[in-house]
Chain A
Amino acid sequence: MTQRISIDPVTRLEGHGKIEIFLDDNGNVANSYFQIPELRGFERFVVGRPIEEMPLLTNRICGVCPEAHHMAAAKAADAVYHIDPPLPAKMLRELLYMAFYCTDHTTHFYALGGPDFVMGPDAPVAERNILGVIHKVGLEVGGKVIQMRKYGHNVVEMIGGRKVHPCTSIPGGLTKGITEEQRKEIEEMGHWAVEFAQFSLQVFNDIVLANKEYVDLILGDVYTHHTYYMGMVDEHNKINFYDGKVRVVDPDGKEFVKYEPKDYAQHIAEHVEPWTYLKFPYLKNVGWKGFVDGNDSGVYMATPLSRLNACDGMATPLAQAEYEKFYAILGGKPVHQRLATHWARLIELLYAAERWVELVTDPEITSPDIHVKPTETPTEGIGIVEAPRGTLTHHYWTDELGRVTRANLIVGTTNNYAPIQMSTHKAAASLIKNGNVTDGLLNMVEMAFRAYDPCFGCATHSLPGQMPLEITVRDAEGNPLEVLKQFC
């Protein structure tokens, strides 16, 4: 008899994450499917609208990383008009982006990824959250998290015009710059951010690395996959979030390809499965071989961990030292253990904070030379940035008046769809033995996909719930045998 386990939304809201796990006759995992909904019709929605609107509209695709969409769309809009914006404009955009990164990575570590380690994966769910972390580590942690977020929002507002959904990037640069007074303020906040990032790495060191059980969990086979890794790098092959070339390394850590954003379509293709709306991107020149590890499988990952694997180092000194420690402790490059992504995220946090200070202390940053007027006929353009959740690609085609005729977007999480599917499958297969479904299953499966910080259905904020989950164990006829709910 085959059993089916379903991790399923309990509201009628269609299209939230759902995990179906099928058991074989012996009660072991036969197969699993991680279904992510697709928000429909964005490509159709933008047709006919001016390209200048894209940095504003695409802000709204996702409630979590509007800044990333703003940047990718702005870069694509530059390309549509064949403009390379002046250096101060690019620096200001990157500065805004670093502040956003600090906010986003902080939230993920303290509110989402961290609790599993700080509280322990088996801790009661009621304690496994940010308040639990504060109770354990100390009240000042909460204050620092709030302060980091506040500083991040302040910088986004100063450069981007608004706190969360920036609106100042236009084709050719920015609509406004910053004053010397603002620069000083941003610099002060940047120094604080560097200290906060160091503090966060210390927390990770004290609580996770000092605990053998957690290190074993990170290094264990349950959360390990050997795939290709993607990340954006500068001319020295150091990580860059805002600009550069996309580099992919193979499962042995050797460079497989490095390409210009405009050439992405030569390297990335999308695989379709009948059981989900979302497509699975893969490396075209390796080919789709299914949800399998190895050099012959075109599956790649695009996350903080993959960015560290795909680069030759960090462009800032403190982050570089942490990067070296990371690979020394985890046994060299590349690191395949997905749970190490949480640590990689904190190293990126430190890099973003250091880069923030670097940019804001550059004399050019207050230059009024922040915009070039578009003069050429608009055609087609591609913009790529590293979003916190993976390489983000925006591609637009326009008519001669700059009205969008076609759009193609590959968002951060989409890159990771195949790896997430593989990770949840492996976690489920490791945990469910002989029909024994434990209460810990949900969290251990969650941990597999939480490392990727996936973003699905995040553009909606409909109450009462964003993504309530339910695990149902079913027999071959679909009759529920056991139900595990996250709330009752």
Chain B
Amino acid sequence: MKTIIVGLGNPILGDDGVGWKIAEEIRKQLPADDIDVACLSLGGLGLMEHLIGYDRAILVDAFATNDQPGSILILKLDELPNYSAFHTTSAHDTSLQKAIELGRSMGAKLPEEVEIVGITTIKVHEFTEELSPPVADVVGFATRVVLDLLKQPIGVKRESHAEV
């Protein structure tokens, strides 16, 4: 099975870069070399295009929720609200869900299930390479969460909210 782990975000925009930091950590610790790790600043169509050819994808991204900063959320893509019908959600793109639907309708091989590990953030509008302390503190734990996820088969119902 071909798996990709994608760290999403902007590495110079504070906590938005947390996905990259975790992906880099995962790359160092990965036991198997048949798993690809990528760091991307993309969404929608561009992100979908990177997932073509994979059976499984795990996205690691900064979350903007009301949870405590540093909280880790584990979700499946279809558990996220799909804003695509309302394309103002991005002024330049469609949602990942819609993009995947589009890719599939074009015959592209895309992961059956996309899992998301989200880290609740604080500062995402100020240019810096540093993470806020509570966000930086969970990079190691989130890395283990992703590595554990890899050991589980896809399609398993699991607890969707873990807080540290």
Contacts and interface: CB of A to CB of B under 8 A. Distances in A.
Contact of A458 (B87, B92, B121, B127): B92
A467 B89 contact: yes
Nearest to A15: B125
B103 interface: yes
Contact of B64 (A39, A57, A453, A464): A464
Contacts of A13: 64, 124
A465 B89 contact: yes
Interface of B: 8-13, 16, 40-46, 49, 61-66, 80-81, 83-94, 98, 101-103, 105-106, 108, 116, 118, 121, 124-128
B43 A461 contact: yes
5 residue pairs, one from A and one from B, having the closest CB atoms? A45-B127, A486-B86, A13-B64, A126-B85, A466-B90
Contact of B125 (A40, A57, A112): A40
Specify which of A57, A134, A466 lies most central, judged by the most chain B CB atoms within 10 Å of its CB: A466
Contacts of A143: 106
A39 B123 CA distance: 11
18 contacts: A37-B125, A45-B127, A63-B10, A111-B87, A125-B86, A126-B85, A129-B84, A131-B98, A142-B105, A457-B125, A459-B10, A459-B16, A460-B16, A462-B9, A462-B62, A463-B63, A463-B116, A467-B88
A60 B45 contact: no
Given A455-B92, A461-B16, 12 more contacts: A39-B126, A39-B127, A40-B127, A44-B127, A45-B12, A107-B92, A129-B85, A131-B101, A146-B106, A460-B16, A461-B42, A464-B81
Interface string A126-169: 11111100100001001100100110010000000000110000
Contacts of B16: 459-462
Nearest to A449: B91
A128 B102 contact: no
Given A12-B66, A461-B10, A129 B127 contact: no
B99 to A, nearest CB: 8
Given A453-B91, A486-B86, A134 B126 contact: no
Interface residues of A, number: 63
Contacts of B90: 458, 466-467
B127 A460 contact: no
Contacts of B62: 460-463
Interface string A107-125: 1100110010000000001
A430 B12 CA distance: 41
Interface of A: 11-15, 17, 37-42, 44-45, 57, 60, 63-64, 66, 107-108, 111-112, 115, 125-131, 134, 139, 142-143, 146, 149-150, 153, 164-165, 442, 446, 450, 453-469, 486-487
B105 A139 contact: yes
A456 B91 contact: yes
A111 B93 CA distance: 6
Specify which of B66, B83, B121 lies most central, judged by the most chain A CB atoms within 10 Å of its CB: B83
A131 B106 CA distance: 11
Given A45-B12, A465-B83, A468-B89, A146 B103 contact: yes
B87 A129 contact: yes
Contact of A466 (B9, B85, B89): B89
Nearest to B124: A460
Given A128-B87, A460-B124, A11 B64 contact: yes
Contact of B12 (A57, A127, A458): A57
Contacts of B126: 39-41
A209 B40 CA distance: 39
A38 B94 CA distance: 23
A402 B17 CA distance: 27
A465 B80 CA distance: 9
Contacts of B102: 130-131, 134, 142, 146
Contacts of A453: 91-92
Contacts of B108: 146
A46 to B, nearest CB: 8
B42 A107 contact: no
A111 B91 CA distance: 10
Contact of A129 (B43, B92, B94, B125): B94
A465 B83 CA distance: 7
A186 to B, nearest CB: 19
B12 A107 contact: no
A126 B98 CA distance: 11
Given A461-B43, A462-B63, A463-B63, A14 B89 contact: no
A459 B92 CA distance: 12
Nearest to A456: B91
